[in-house]
Amino acid sequence: MGTSAEARAIKKASKKARSQLKKLDAKTRKELVALYIDSATQLEHAILSAASSDGLLALESLNATLDAVHRELNRLSFKRGDLLEQGLSDAVSSGSAPFILSISALAVATINRDAVRYVQSFLASDGLQLSDRIWNIDNGAREAVSQAIQRAIIQGQSAFEAAQAFVQRGERVPLDVASKIDVARASKVAQTVKASLLRGSGNPMDNALRLFRTELNRAHGEAYQAAAFAHPDVIGTRFLLSPNHRVKDICDMHTSVNRYGLGKGVYPDGQNPWPAHPNTLSFVEVVFADEVSESDKKSKEGRIQWLKKQPAHVHQSILGKNKAKAFQAGHLEKESDIQRPWKNIKARLKRKGFSTG
């Protein structure tokens, strides 16, 4: 810990700021879940209201039903946008808070504004920005809900027409045909729509929760680091694992490597690899110049060097199965290979005549 009283106060305030972000994360997640559950209930009401007297959704009601559903999903998107905007504002405020007595109020305001803008414009390795991810979530919800409604109505309509043909011929309606008519029952369609929004692999609510956690954490950390490096005595930030971190992954490497001779997991301005992945609960912490020892300066170590000292299962947890095999065979010697997609490395190795099977 920094030796000055000011440094100690900042460290203490940093710990409090991390606690505040955890509370903000929990509060925002609770509110976001409530938004999605409320929207699912409104969708259910819209679908049930569109049913005919026999409880079925007719083909004639398809467009009106879809219009009502899309209006509700637009309302959800708008309210979720307000929640995200407030969450980002609260996240950057708590991120810069430890330094409010060390830098000017104008500097803090600028840092907070720039951190929000950074999150909004940040381009991830997949080429997507925040707005793209939000659009993907909303588009996925619209597609899932619309398809569930259209499929049910069309299948039910076809089955109904088939059943009429059987009746007109004086024949008994087959059970499989009768069951398909029931697919268009409004109560069943409503349950399917609710499930497509709230449950199942990759559902829109889970995707929104993951996005909120990722971006609020990013906003907090960006504001924190910008404020930290505005302090003249700060030399770096330390990559901190979450107390809930259980499974070894690339975060363990980032916290263990003394890449810049500033100590394990400590990085100079602009070099901290945090956050290492979406949905992370890791943090960064300020490091003052007087915290760096002579031993830290002399024990500088690259990530490849560090990996070579680790057992095989750690290679796989950090690099993935294919890259771990290539690393163990001596084919990955560049730091950049750690982040590079396997498909690019595989193509390079094939050109060199190395087997990747």
Strands 266-267 and 234-240: antiparallel
Do 324 and 293 lie in one domain? The reply is no
> Does residue 261 lie in a domain region?
yes
Q: Domain boundary at 207, 222, 255, which?
A: 207
Q: Are 226 and 114 in contact, with CB atoms under 8 Å apart?
A: yes
Residue 273 scores a pLDDT above 80: yes
Do 252 and 313 lie in one domain? The reply is no
Tokens of 250: 């690339």
Do 199 and 283 lie in one domain? The reply is no
> Does residue 291 lie in a domain region?
yes
How many angstroms separate the CA atoms of 339 and 316, rounded?
Answer: 13
Residue 3 scores a pLDDT above 80: no
DSSP 122: -
Do 124 and 183 lie in one domain? The reply is yes
Segment 53-62 mean pLDDT: 79
Domain count, the chain: 3
How many angstroms separate the CA atoms of 87 and 215, rounded?
Answer: 9
How many angstroms separate the CA atoms of 224 and 280, rounded?
Answer: 16
> Does residue 239 lie in a domain region?
yes
Segment 165-171 mean pLDDT: 64
Q: Are 95 and 227 in contact, with CB atoms under 8 Å apart?
A: yes
Residue 160 scores a pLDDT above 60: no
What is the model's pLDDT at position 56?
77
Do 346 and 284 lie in one domain? The reply is no
Average model confidence (pLDDT) across the chain: 88
What is the model's pLDDT at position 341?
86
Tokens of 151: 């499929």
Tokens of 62: 């398809």
Strands (E), 60-192: none
Backbone angles phi, psi at 268, to 5 degrees: -75, 175
Q: Are 306 and 318 in contact, with CB atoms under 8 Å apart?
A: no
Residue 329 scores a pLDDT above 70: yes
Do 149 and 261 lie in one domain? The reply is no
Do 290 and 314 lie in one domain? The reply is no
Do 21 and 130 lie in one domain? The reply is yes
What is the model's pLDDT at position 161?
55
Residue 298 burial class via C-beta count within 10 angstroms: exposed 0-12, middle 13-18, buried 19 and up: exposed
Helix (H) or strand (E) holding 285: strand 283-288
Torsion of CA 128, 252, 88, 109, to 10 degrees: -110
How many angstroms separate the CA atoms of 41 and 183, rounded?
Answer: 20
Do 70 and 166 lie in one domain? The reply is yes
Q: Domain boundary at 207, 242, 265, which?
A: 207
Tokens of 3: 């030796």
How many angstroms separate the CA atoms of 199 and 231, rounded?
Answer: 46
Tokens of 55: 């409880």
Amino acid symbol at 182: D
Q: Are 231 and 111 in contact, with CB atoms under 8 Å apart?
A: no
How many angstroms separate the CA atoms of 191 and 69, rounded?
Answer: 14
Do 32 and 74 lie in one domain? The reply is yes
Lowest-confidence segment of 171-175, 244-248, 307-311 by average pLDDT: 171-175
DSSP 103: S
Do 152 and 277 lie in one domain? The reply is no
HEC readout, 164-209: HHHHHCCCCCCHHHHHHHHCCEHHHHHHHHHHHHHCCCCCHHHHHH
Tokens of 118: 């950074």
> Does residue 217 lie in a domain region?
no
> Does residue 51 lie in a domain region?
yes
How many angstroms separate the CA atoms of 81 and 79, rounded?
Answer: 5
Q: Are 283 and 18 in contact, with CB atoms under 8 Å apart?
A: yes
Cβ within 8 Å of residue 232, ≥6 positions away: none
> Does residue 309 lie in a domain region?
yes
- Point out which residues pair with 248 in neighbouring strands: none
- Highest mean pLDDT (candidates 45-59, 245-259, 293-307): 293-307
Strands 266-267 and 283-288: unpaired
Tokens of 149: 């409604």
> Does residue 237 lie in a domain region?
yes
pLDDT tens digits for range 98-153? 999 999 999 999 999 999 999 999 988 788 899 999 999 999 899 888 888 877 77
Domain span including residue 67: 5-207
Do 199 and 269 lie in one domain? The reply is no
> Does residue 140 lie in a domain region?
yes
Q: Are 213 and 29 in contact, with CB atoms under 8 Å apart?
A: yes
Give the CA distances from residue 345 to residues 52, 184, 324, 327, 336, in Å, rounded to whole numbers and listed in that order.
Answer: 59, 50, 12, 11, 10
User: Can you tell me whether residue 284 is helix, strand or coil?
Assistant: strand
Residue 236 scores a pLDDT above 70: yes
